[in-house]
């Protein structure tokens, strides 16, 4: 069975999908990396909506509108900070991907784009994170092939990790 998964190198804020995932921090009030880029592209109304949510614990999700983005929704998830692998980091990263897919399904989204969660300033090793991401998403889509998933990578290296993880399955 061909699963609806793609890997691309692009700016996630430009994708025409139903929902994008934001690798957010616990405050949801913007930050660096993809989080900052999404907040800048979505405009000030996103920050206002996020303020009303009161934050988000690691491994969970919160949903907002896309505001000035082409995406209708933003699914904010807080990935784990890498502490060497013994602080439940893989379990928390799995939860980010699983809960993001569940939220997209609840919204009725037919397409969803993920960044490489936790691989920037949170320091999760990129190849390991890609294996967790791809393994989790493939498992969920085998049971129910909705939504179409795009792993939107910030670099060719990140995309190569995701492609290698897909080939390994």
Q: Is 35 in the active site?
A: yes
Give the contacts of 158 (CB within 8 A, at least 6 positions apart): 9, 116, 119, 126, 130
Query: In this structure, are strands 19-24 and 73-78 parallel, antiparallel, or unpaired?
Result: parallel
The backbone torsions φ and ψ at residue 130, rounded to the nearest 5 degrees and listed phi first, read -65, -40
5-168 folds as: 3.40.220
Going by C-alpha positions, the residue among 64, 44, 122, 120 that lies closest to residue 89 is 122
Q: What is the pLDDT of residues 24-77, one digit of tens each?
A: 999 999 999 999 999 999 999 999 999 999 999 999 999 999 999 999 999 999
In the predicted structure, residue 1 carries a pLDDT above the cut 80: no
Going by C-alpha positions, the residue among 143, 125, 142, 132 that lies closest to residue 165 is 132
Q: What is the pLDDT of residues 108-142, one digit of tens each?
A: 999 999 999 999 999 999 999 999 999 999 999 99
- Listed by start position, the domains of the chain span 5-168
Active-site residue (options: 18, 35, 91, 144): 35
């Amino acid at each position: 069975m061909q699963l609806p998964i793609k890997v691309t190198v692009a700016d996630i804020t430009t994708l025409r999908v139903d929902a994008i995932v934001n690798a957010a921090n616990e405050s949801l009030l913007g930050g660096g990396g993809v989080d900052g880029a999404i907040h800048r592209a979505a405009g000030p109304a996103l920050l206002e909506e996020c303020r009303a949510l009161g934050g988000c614990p690691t491994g969970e999700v919160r949903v907002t509108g896309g505001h000035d983005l082409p995406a209708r929704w933003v699914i904010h998830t807080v990935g784990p900070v890498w502490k060497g692998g013994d602080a439940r980091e893989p379990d928390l990263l799995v939860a980010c991907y699983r809960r993001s897919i569940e939220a997209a399904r609840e919204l009725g989204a037919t397409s969803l784009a993920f960044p490489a969660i936790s691989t920037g300033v949170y320091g999760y090793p990129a190849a390991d994170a890609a294996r967790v991401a791809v393994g989790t998403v493939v498992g969920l889509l085998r049971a129910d092939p909705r939504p179409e998933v795009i792993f939107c990578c910030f670099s060719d290296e990140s995309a190569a990790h995701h492609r290698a993880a897909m080939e390994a399955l």
